[in-house]
Amino acid sequence: MDNLTHSLVGVALSRAGLQRVTPHATLLLIISSNLPDIDILALAGGQLADLEIHRGYTHSLILIPLLAIVSALLTMVIGDQPVRFWRAFFVGCVGVGGHLLLDWTGSFGIRALLPFSSKWFYLDLNGFYDGVILTALALAFVWPWFVDLVSSEIGRNTKHRGQGSALFVLFFLMLYEGGRWTLHQRVLNDLNSRLYDGKVPLEVSALAEPNDPFHWTGIVETDDAFRMVRTGAIALINSTDARIFRKPRQNPVYLAVNRVEPFRYMAYFSRFPVWDFEPIKLASGLGERVEETDLRFGTPGAGEFHASALTDPVGRVLETEFGFTTREMDEMFASAPQ
């Protein structure tokens, strides 16, 4: 999830009671709730390196203790005050663990069992951010100041620490995610119960929409295609409205690009890989521009995480690129030698 959500959850955990466990608990929880995303430093090695490293070791269960220790040490340095190590370590583990839990609920997922397994884990309950969750956390964050302001206006000198609102919002988040899981299962059951052009689905998924908890983007894989359709937990799908993305034939160009980076990594990363083959005129004849993306994050020509290749008339790969947007890919290939 986004780092604002992670930070506000850290504040809520502190106000709910962890601030009594160790000095500077709020600072410690904000640091530990965001520290797993330190893997963004991989961007220095390029966008593909960032994708390869993101949600990897820093989001694995085995590194929770190490990240908690780093969080505690950073808190001691920034707060300029000694803390009881084991108490700070415990609070840091809560913050890091909360980060992993929130990221697990999304569609990107985490590799929680590294280095023993590189399997991705995801619940598909939330997107990169969730408007309902952010709103609830923001209201809980400002509520103590609002209550104090009202109290001062009516002549009461009270100081609210926000424990009640923090406990309430954490309880609300548990209920909300439980409700999301129930609705999600309903959508998955509906997607699984249908035939698509007479074919049984091999895999189905329902991806969250960031500001609408009652509608989902359904993705259905059959042996020859992927289908994308907007669906709801109350008004279920109309499969005739689906966008259909046919799976590519195992031709020489397809086989050639799958042997090179970044397509080899995309083969591991993608759950719903879709392909686009576009003829392109080269000095040596008619080649092809090949693009692969994952339906979780967009479609060919739109969305995020695109692997692209340029092949010559006999199917040899001339150039490969990876970018977060199609515009970036267009700029890269515009400057590539042809």
Same domain, 215 and 330: no
How far apart are alpha carbons 121 and 159 in whole angstroms?
43
**Quick check: is 142 in a domain?**
no
Number of domains composing the chain: 3
Asked whether residue 237 is assigned to any structural domain, the reply reads yes
Return d(Cα 276, Cα 287) in angstroms, integer: 14
pLDDT value of position 240:
64
DSSP 266-318: HHHH-SSEEEEEEEEEETTEEEEEEEEEETTS--TTSSS-EEEEEE-TTS-EE
Q: Do 241 and 291 share a domain, yes or no?
A: no
Do residues 240 and 281 share a domain? no
137, part of any domain? no
Whether residue 145 is contained in a domain is answered as no
Same domain, 7 and 125: yes
Considering the domain architecture, whether residues 51 and 66 belong to the same structural domain is answered as yes
Contact assessment for residue 278 and residue 269, using Cβ atoms and an 8 Å cutoff = no
Same structural domain, 24 and 61: yes
What pLDDT, on a 0 to 100 scale, did the predictor assign at position 270?
Answer: 93
> How do the pLDDT tens digits run along the chain, 338 residues long?
899 999 999 999 999 999 999 999 999 999 999 999 999 999 999 999 999 999 999 999 999 999 999 999 999 999 877 778 899 999 999 999 999 999 999 999 999 999 999 999 999 999 888 999 999 999 999 988 887 776 666 656 656 678 899 999 999 999 999 999 999 999 999 899 888 888 999 999 999 988 888 889 999 999 999 999 888 766 666 666 789 999 998 888 999 999 998 999 999 999 999 999 999 998 888 899 999 999 999 888 887 889 999 999 988 999 999 988 755 555 545 555 45
**Residues 30, 46 within the same domain:** yes
Say if residue 273 is in the same domain as residue 218. Answer: no
pLDDT, residue 327, reads 54
Per-residue confidence (pLDDT) for residue 334, from 0 to 100: 54
46 and 9 share a domain?
yes
Both 51 and 121 in a single domain?
Answer: yes
Q: 12 with 34, same domain?
A: yes
Residue 324: predicted pLDDT: 82
Give domain status of residue 178, yes or no.
no
Domain that holds residue 227: 185-245
